[in-house]
A and B are shown apart, each in its own frame.
Chain A
């Protein structure tokens, strides 16, 4: 019984994945590209940066970079907090 259930769910999963792969649009031809076209056309004049990736990361999507920097800050804070506890405990005891 368990084996039959597993086989059926496996078949359903495979069918679902094949369906999804078959529906993917062809590589290099995205569906909606208005935003990309706008950025590629205007990034050089609007931000003055020749590296369009950099202009997206720090200008158009700067808020996202702020989140990344926050993640890094939190990671550093967590590592320093965790790894320094041992020394403090040793001094206290």
Chain B
């Protein structure tokens, strides 16, 4: 129990750190999924803690976590689709340059070799 909870906290911390500090969208999406996994693990722990005597787990958080996974999957799919389209149109996936400023987009490290 405790070790699962610590894992959940660690995953959430890692994911949140990645989501905020990484400038590249693809890494942000991966970080979001790590953060999401931490939250889903937390749901499992809550289910175990809330179980009545003799039962394995409280079914409500388990029902919720399935919905949560579906939502996270849909969000990831949409983000990746947008990212692919952006890459196809422009050849890089940076989000931090001003499109109107007319500046030369800096070399991008997401470019395939």
A and B together in one complex? no
